[in-house]
Chain A
Amino acid sequence: MALLDMSQVSMRFGGLTAVKDFNLQLHPGEIVGLIGPNGAGKTTVFNMITGVYKPSAGTIRFNGNEIGGMRPDLITQQGIARTFQNIRLFKELTVLENVLIANHLHLASNFMEAILKLPRYRREEAAMREKSLKLLERLGLLEHQNDKASSLPYGLQRRLEIARALATEPKLLLLDEPAAGMNPKEAADLTVFIKEIRDEFDLTILLIEHHMDVVMTICDRIYVLVYGTMIASGEPAEIQSNQQVIEAYLGVDEDAENQ
């Protein structure tokens, strides 16, 4: 059974249809790419999956539960985490605090227990810290744990966003342009890194990306979105040779068409 199943999903903003009749299936353990020119509606798809937007039509099922239009924090609780295209860290807080915050949703103690620092809360807080430090160590951010998030270099900020998303213990991870602004070497490292975390944390990954090298090397399947409509889907090799995709990316040669 598909982990995530979007069927006939549309998103309209007034008269503008950002995404139209979109279908997508993700199977556990897959890495799937979502590509398309700027303004194609890729981030809108993410926003619908994570509950930021309520789809105008269609159903989104995660693990068999309908999640379309659910409150974002509840969706995260079900096991979907994301990163953002324009980095959205808690800038004034430390790296460790950023990760700790992502653990808050699993906290069972109520606020009175937290204020009074009762045993259950103390236990949970200690476990939370230990888990976060382990995660930071795994992602190579441990030495920066007490630095302000905004003081990190760009690449590490991206990494911290992934760390923060992983701390919510997701089953499905949505990455919105993880390689944006990276040079080829960094992008290559990133592809290795994404595969590693997929295996280590037992994830299914959906990613939006413009770096074609990244997309073609790590994705099992690719969906192509143009003007809100899916024009193609399939394995990287199929997508690369798909005439419609090439036209969408490179434009149509008018002379060739006229001939």
Chain B
Amino acid sequence: MRRNTILTAIALLLLIGFIAVADNFFDLYIVRILNLCAIYTILGLSMNLINGFTGLFSLGHAGFMAVGAYVTALLTIPPDVKKQIFYMTPIMSPLDVMNLPFPLALLGGGLLTAFVAYLIGAPALKLKGDYLAIATLGFGEIIRVIFTNTQSITNGALGLKGIPNTTNLWWSFGTALFTLVVIASLINSSYGRALMAIREDEVAAESMGIHLAKHKNLSFIIGAFFAGIGGGLLGNLLGTIDPKMFTFTLTFNILLIIVLGGMGSLSGSVISAFVVTIANEWLRFLDEQINLGFVVIQGKVGTRMVVFSVLLMVVVLFYRHGLMGNRELTWDSLLNSKIWRGISARWRKTAVAEGGEK
């Protein structure tokens, strides 16, 4: 118990040190990727809460992110910049002067997303399985279409530009850590067990006295809250957002992360978010011209996504549980793993050998 607390403290210090170094010395490209990793971690965790832990097959994540991103952006863009970007139709009256500090704007984005999820959840969560997936997917698209057409609020298809680039490594990693702690704490509580009971068997859960609608809504709303915050961070990282960003492809990317990482594993989602985001950049060479010596393949943008599609199929067919299944990476499991035992045994051996020589 004590050892684990110390190890956690050390890991936290290492993380803080790493962010400090990365923030000051790494080049912008790598910093951008690290930011994306952290944001996808938030998105993966929040979607895993809904899909992996509660067993609700929801595909509305892109819609939730859109709400969070737009709210945060609209609350952080300075009023004079807003006047410039809304040149087609002027922005609606209270929004044109509203301006909040980044953390408050982010929180506002999260809360409004949670409210939208509450409205969507009331009818949609009565559905089960594939039907819920279709309904949430539909709602996600509806949000996007609304945003394309509410010219005086969202600037329509032109999108928002000049969003202050407030998101840095401290914000993204800090929020990711916060998300992890909150969701882990929820999962490890009586409420978390109730959610998993719903995933395992709805009929039995209900007959054990679990109020299905309340708990499903709880999971859906908390998941959406963090999706909104993730969206807000993303908007203020990229500096521009438009409705086309938030199509189903985005939801698919997050779904990919949680399926590869393991539905029902938080550590799996974290690892998988980093792996998928980094691989997504690293595989960019597939989109370019490839010279194999005897033949030259003309690059096509999006070729790298084929890799992920194939990977997803392989995982679903042969390795259902993903990387972690529903297990978690803890200090205990780490220290008891074969790899670590091997390493520590070797250390001890060399230490003894050296001691003997002296």
**Contact surface of A with B, Cβ cutoff 8 Å:** 50, 52, 71-73, 76-77, 81-82, 84, 88-93, 97, 100-105, 107, 109, 111, 114-117, 121, 124-125, 128, 164, 168
Contacts and interface: CB of A to CB of B under 8 A. Distances in A.
Contact of A104 (B182, B190, B200, B201): B190
Given A77-B209, A115-B182, A168-B209, A104 B194 contact: yes
B309 interface: no
Nearest to B326: A92
B185 A115 contact: yes
B204 interface: yes
A102 B196 CA distance: 12
B204 A88 contact: yes
A176 to B, nearest CB: 11
Contacts, number: 99
A91 to B, nearest CB: 6
Contacts of A103: 190
B349 interface: no
A231 B72 CA distance: 68
Contacts of B238: none
Given A90-B196, A128-B190, 13 more contacts: A52-B203, A73-B207, A89-B201, A92-B196, A92-B200, A93-B196, A102-B208, A104-B197, A104-B208, A111-B186, A111-B191, A115-B186, A116-B185
A125 B185 contact: no
Contact of A168 (B191, B193, B197, B208): B208
B209 A115 contact: no
Nearest to B185: A115
16 contacts: A52-B207, A73-B208, A73-B210, A73-B211, A76-B207, A93-B197, A101-B193, A102-B209, A103-B190, A104-B197, A105-B209, A107-B190, A117-B189, A125-B189, A125-B190, A128-B190
Nearest to A98: B197
Contacts of A109: 190
Contacts of A73: 206-212
Interface in B167-200: 182, 185-186, 189-191, 193-194, 196-197, 200
Contacts of B194: 101, 104
B347 to A, nearest CB: 31
A72 B190 contact: no
Counting chain A CB atoms within 10 Å of each CB, the highest count among B197, B208, B264, B326 belongs to: B208
A155 to B, nearest CB: 19
Contacts of B196: 90, 92-93, 97, 101
A82 B207 CA distance: 7
Interface string B205-239: 11111111000001000000000000000000000
Given A111-B218, A128-B190, A117 B185 contact: yes
Given A115-B185, A117-B185, A91 B200 contact: yes
Counting chain A CB atoms within 10 Å of each CB, the highest count among B190, B193, B326 belongs to: B190
B200 A93 contact: yes
A91 B206 CA distance: 16
B229 to A, nearest CB: 15
Nearest to A80: B207
A102 to B, nearest CB: 5
Q: Which 7 A-B pairs have the closest CB atoms?
A: A105-B209, A76-B209, A114-B189, A90-B200, A88-B204, A72-B206, A101-B197
Interface in B285-316: none
Interface of B: 182, 185-186, 189-191, 193-194, 196-197, 200-201, 203-212, 218, 264, 326
A90 B195 CA distance: 11
B208 A101 contact: yes
B189 A121 contact: yes
A156 B211 CA distance: 27
B185 A101 contact: no
Contacts of B218: 111
Nearest to B202: A88
Contacts of B189: 111, 114-115, 117, 121, 125
Counting chain A CB atoms within 10 Å of each CB, the highest count among B190, B206, B209 belongs to: B209
Nearest to A169: B209
A82 B183 CA distance: 32
Contacts of B206: 71-73, 76
Contacts of A121: 189-190
A107 B186 CA distance: 14
Nearest to A78: B209
B201 A88 contact: yes
A110 B208 CA distance: 18
Contacts of A125: 189-190
A90 B190 contact: no
A65 B114 CA distance: 37
A193 B205 CA distance: 25
A234 to B, nearest CB: 30
A104 B204 contact: no
